Structure 1
Amino acid sequence: MVYQFQPDASGKVIAESRLDGESRYDGLMFPASDIPVQARALYKRSLLRLIADVADEGSPVLPGITPGGRPLDLSLAVTRAVSPIHIEYLKNMGVEASMSVSIMKEGELWGLFACHHDSPRYIDYERRTAIEMFAHMFSYELIRFEDAQRKKAESDASRLQTLLMAQMADGRDLATSLMAVSEEIGNVIPHDGIVLFENENFHARGRTPTEEEFRSLARFLDRSIGSGPFSTDRLGALHEPARDHARRCAGILAIPVSKRPRDYLVLCRREMRAAVDWAGEPSKPVEVGPNGTRLTPRRSFEIWTETVEGRSAPWSAEEQHTAELLRVVLLEIFLKITDAANLERKRAQERQQLLISELNHRVRNILNLMRGLLAQSKNSARTLEEFTENLDGRIQALARAHDQLTSEQWEPASLRALIQCEFEAYAACAARVEIEGPDALVAPAAYTTMALVLHELATNSVKYGALREAAGKVLVRLEAAEDGALRFSWTERGGPPVKPPARRGFGTMIIENSIPHELKGEAEIDYRITGIEARFLLPASAIASIEGAAALPAAGGAATEAGDFALSGSGLVLEDTLIIAMDAAGILEDLGAEDVKIFSGVKAALDYLGGTAVDFAVLDVNLGEEQSVAVAETLAASGTPFVLATGYGAAPELIAAYPPCVVVQKPFSASSLRTAMARAFDARK
């Protein structure tokens, strides 16, 4: 049986497994006196107590005192005999051998594994050792489980804070905002009614005391509770007037929301009349026996049913923890609400100044670019019509690229989409353009450069190359390079015979020099008689991510195929947003990881790495007020593969600050993170 101690020191069997498949004690309650305080103290000292045969009378230890005159302490002895009262208790249950294993949580006795046998049974040393190890592991998993519940409570409280702030951002007061999110509060802390008592004003929703009843309750709370949340599932036992409204509110969770008294958020639960089954009548568990004042254990274990009234469903530890987090949130709102308007005005001014500066910077860049296009197009054009046509085409190419970027809020954009967008201007030719290979997200700084290069290639092909002929085709091939760069080739077939240009115009200069000059990449163009063949290399700094493809094989070996890539061992995720961290951990576990630890700060991650090795990691770049560089350096020093997850893309300054690594663009998918992780492992080979 798994026997869990309740808040009132009684016990409840929450799980039972018997050889005959029956259920005898599952769900039953046991009075607190069945395991008295002295016995619980022994259970905390010794994790395992074994009674091999209840009929064994035992052997006395002589002398029974130490040389100092004190009674012998046999509390840690496996062969120590137990109280004759407990032996009689077991005999009354029909048990001939028993073993109790303590379940500890944070130094306290949470419960027991209670094992019974209907005949004498001895457990040898090896098996006892294994059982004790199991008890330690169970306690560890119990703590992990409750930590997970606590983290969920913190996440729920954070979500409530966001909802509350969103309500108040619309100009609503605290009372209106709280009542508007009462359903969301109920999803986190189930309740039947909610009361906000603020500045002597009573606001209520659901099943609650009346205003007059609550004012009496508020005076009780002022006298009885401190600054933290207060909970009870038997309000009538503490505040007698509450018995009159037990059907509406039998239990409360009161959250003080100001430093001064009489301001509360109170969650109410109605009376929950229930029948509780006890293994014997709890009010008469023992009687005075022939041993004088010593107690004799009860002989009856027949089910005794108690009808509970005036009591609500209890408030769990997780719900009380959530209430404390909510109290902090509400207290902060209360204290800061008067300063919010001034702070918001200041922030608005700062944002406006920042936007003006950014707009000024971008407008100047655009004006300089237009001036350069105008001058160079004029120099290379032979007629006014050619000048107008060339300039208009290049401006339109930049405009299409800008539309692609701004549709994603100035984030890295799809190269495949840019190619398709460029050829949409030549509808009759678009069907004769084939694009092979994975798509790539190009950083904003490189996107306009690629737009101009593609525009010149497309324009030349339509005017003079393969797309001039009905049978002509253009093949565009994209390939991932091993260092995160992208190989991009352009091949024309089926057009008129090609000759190298007699003069190198502005368009040719853009094709041959833009990528090497602006992106520090490579460009090569061949004027073959069968058609133009151009090859480009976009460096990793220009590429945010490459979707759906692993890197090409490195010299002397083969890279891991992302589709076949799998993980094993333990990992680490460093991410300050819990939902993103959980998503990353889930993806890694789906890839085969056995254990993934989540951290939100650099210090906690470094402390963990100081004593534990991991096999891989995913690091967020920006962790609020700090960056993950120190963790990346630690991982790099140990040769551990890791991936940087960022919304900034593979910016040069980012690459320069971190050890050599693979970058995946946020929001990442399972596919993109798997590909990035495969490349990270390849880079460590």
Structure 2
Amino acid sequence: MEIVDLGNCEREPIHLLGGVQAFGCLFAFSNDWLLAHVSDNCERFARQAPDDLLGTPAANIFSRDSLHDMRSRLQWIQYSDGGERMFGVDVFGDGRSFDVALHKSEDLIIIEVELTHHAHRLDAMSVVRSMMSRLGTDIRFSAFLEQAARQVRFVTDFDRVMVYRFLPDGSGEVVAESRSPQVDSFLGLRYPSYDIPPQARQLYLRNQFRIIADVDGEVSRLEPPLRYDGRPIDLSLSVLRSVSEIHLEYLRNMGVKASLSISIIVDGKLWGLFACHHYAPKLIGFDRRTAAELFSQMFSREVAKREQDEMLTVEARARALHDRVMASVSVEGSVFDNLKDYLEAFMEVVSCDGVAILVDEDYASLGLAASPEDVKSLRKLLNRSAASRVFSSNRLSTLMGESDFTLRIPGVLAIPVSRRPRDYLLFFRGEVVQSVTWAGKPEKAIEYGPNGARLTPRKSFEAWKEELTGQSEHWTRSDLRITEVLRTTLLEVILRSVDANDRLQQEANRRQDTLIAELNHRVRNILTLIQGVVSKTRQMSLSPEHFTETVNGRIGALARAHDQITRGNWSPGPLRLLLENEIRAYSEEIGDQVDLSGDPVMLEPQAFSTIALVMHEMVTNAAKYGALSRPEGRLSVTWKMNPDGSVLIDWQERGGPAVGKPSRRGFGSTIIEHSVPHELHGVAEIDYQEAGVSAFFRIPARFCQRDLDEGYRAPAHDVPAPKEIAVDARKGRVLLVEDNVIIAMDGEDMLREIGFKEVVLANSVSSGLRRVDEGGIDMAVLDINLGVETSLPIAERLLADGTPFIFASGYDDTSFLEDRRFAKIPVLSKPFTKQMLVEAFGGEIER
């Protein structure tokens, strides 16, 4: 007897079904534009049978202009996991108008076409602007969702449009709805998690729009059905992809004849769907589908903004509590004594029915809480969970078994306040009996259906009510976010208590573990910072050598700062020593060029690394471009401590090269301008005066203290001066002639990565000739077709000047270059890559 389980649905390869819906036609080309696969309904579209088309070049199937446009569009998306769309294209050169979708699937170029719906065509951008303006930002969330459903129904004209939200347990609920009067309401119905299996959710993340025009419609199979290596074609991004028979049967059981699904993605996760149903076959035009998809993307951002605003409010409450607690902590008191007085305040920040603090064997609670005996069992469970992580459950009986305790208090959120032995701040929630209305009984009946030995889709969707007991309300993202802030507060309380409490001094192991836990926390932050430095530096580096030098300098600055503050067991470090070490990275001695003077100031560890990175960028810029780049240049850095305890740093450069405001804002500028305001809530101002750079920084008082031991100076580190970046001077000024702004920007990035010092852009023959007349062009890349003209006049001028160049084209046929003078000029086919550029230049790149 064969066993059938829920995994059958989860394992179904719904992106590898090998067919498309028959209202469109799919062409799959190899990278050299030979047709490798085609849907078997191609004769209706291309007026040729599959056997006549397979192996044929794209230029023999599509019109020259449409193929040129397709190849240019593919240039836009060659580095993304997405697709492009074109509207009203004469694809086959016979006067018929088609809408086109393009994307890459592994090494295949997928082109999908469907006849254009000319009637009532929409301007997608105008429609979406109008739709968004109707949402309103000051209405309650339920009304906001309802209005969104109405707008999608306006565009799609489906019988029912639902906003379907995924819940923490994986099930989904219809939270808003717009429908025609003759159809039933699904508002408030809950659907079990297996109605949308995991692989379907993954597809909703990659391909955000899904249409089923007719659940009983014809499916056109791909010819041949398998790739050359025997694998099926991945149609994850296809707009025509055929549908699982399991899902079609599911829709038929609901009476639905056509459907749309549009993803709502918030912070990279599937928040929910716009689920659209129609009770007759329905195919809406590509323009309306595009408008609905664009609206969903903008709506997703609005949802994210609302959730972010909620998070900011939560964090503000947590910060206020943090300041309140830290202002009144008694260093003589124990951790338990310091925290037990704030149980009521903790309840005000986290929504709960009770709260408790457990430190060693001391236990205090307020409101609905576990008894001392019950908390012992709970602690055993918590001690098996991950270290230094917040624990949460809204159904404790699933982890500890049913008992009077787990049924009375099913919801627990625990914040560890030490590592070993573990102590906790505990939040409790009582039982909430929920009446849930399911769309049919959620248990899925196991039957043998028409699709073999697998689960048959549910047939009954009548409302079925169930009372859920033994659980509390779910702990929300806001709850978990605020507890992470509280955890930091608790660690600071512990650290203060450890410094002055006799009992904790005797328990040396516990104190050491607590400090190590905090140190690990900070090390993880440093590692995350380094990861960000490497990533941002890589994005903005001009060459591998430049990347290596820059990232080594920045990480070196962090390492020096980290070493200084860890020498004193994560204690404050002197500002003067920080500056001296950064300057010694470029000069063995701090001589007449640099003047450092100021009050004896120590910076807290949290600020020390931030200021070290900022000063590293300032010194680096001064050494490369500013006062320290010339022997006669002078740098003055002065600082003083204000009466309120804050520290002011004044930076002045004189005698260097003339200064101008940078035209390009890099990662270094971002570090200088934003690190102190963002991380320390201080001030950073920089002024690019012609005589020299001036900068001003204010560090808040809570990060500063006076150096009581002015005579102590840690030894300076031996930091070698950075080497010059090796730049090949032969790679000079290159002219790029391209009329498409996106391709022009992409080409400019590639040329700079190859090593050209300057890229000059032109978008027409006249602007290109003007650039050539200005002189100084060492090499050129010319897009042959510039709309209504070609770049041949520029090519002729370059030939006369003896300047090497190459062509770029989206056309396969370049026979119109009949002039023999151009016979040996390389022609680069779009879409091209940096490696293809280098190969096309050949030896000519080094003149």
TM-score (norm 1): 0.50
Larger radius of gyration: 1
Structure with greater contact order relative to length (CA < 8 Å, sep ≥ 6): 2
TM-score (norm 2): 0.41
